[in-house]
């Protein structure tokens, strides 16, 4: 199982706000390592959505925001749109495993 835990699914109506949690431990998020988020549309490669906890790459709408506290991080999507239906993954570094780790993934459904 994944080192970083995410809810398997979240859903919301168009225009609503949803949040995805990413729970780690003292050897990864809790140790202060950055958290990054990726969006994976069906049949495509993941794409960077948030880096360094809260930063958006050029071209990513400000509807997407990241936060981190303690051993957890969160991705918020406001103004949910149909095109936001995708799988979302968090990623960090784990000092115990001495490598990069991903979350279990969360499927966002727009009702």
Rounded least distance, CB 57 to other proteins, Å: 7
Joined together, the tokens standing for residue 57 give 């790459």
Count residues binding other proteins (CB under 8 A): 26
DSSP codes of every residue in 21-66: EEE--TTTGGGT---EEEEE-TTS--EEEEBTTTBPPTT--TTEEE
Rounded least distance, CB 28 to other proteins, Å: 11
Rounded least distance, CB 16 to other proteins, Å: 26
Cβ-based neighbour number of residue 1 at 10 Å: 4
- Binding of other proteins by 36 (CB under 8 A): yes
Which residues between 41 and 100 bind other proteins (CB under 8 A)? 44-48, 51-52, 57, 89, 91-93, 97-100
Which residues, 6 or more positions from 99, have their beta carbon under 8 angstroms from its beta carbon?
A: 93
Binding site for other proteins (CB under 8 A): 2, 33-34, 36, 38, 44-48, 51-52, 57, 89, 91-93, 97-105
């Amino acid at each position: 199982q994944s080192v970083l835990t995410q809810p398997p699914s979240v859903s919301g109506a168009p225009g609503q706000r949803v949040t995805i949690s990413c729970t780690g431990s003292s050897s990864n998020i809790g140790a202060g390592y950055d958290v990054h988020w990726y969006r994976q549309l069906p049949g495509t490669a993941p794409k960077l959505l948030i880096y360094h906890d809260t930063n958006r790459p050029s071209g990513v709408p400000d509807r997407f925001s990241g936060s981190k506290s303690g051993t957890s991080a969160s991705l918020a999507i406001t103004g949910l749109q149909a095109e936001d239906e995708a799988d979302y993954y968090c990623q960090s570094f784990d000092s115990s495993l001495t490598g990069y780790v991903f979350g279990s993934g969360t499927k966002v459904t727009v009702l």
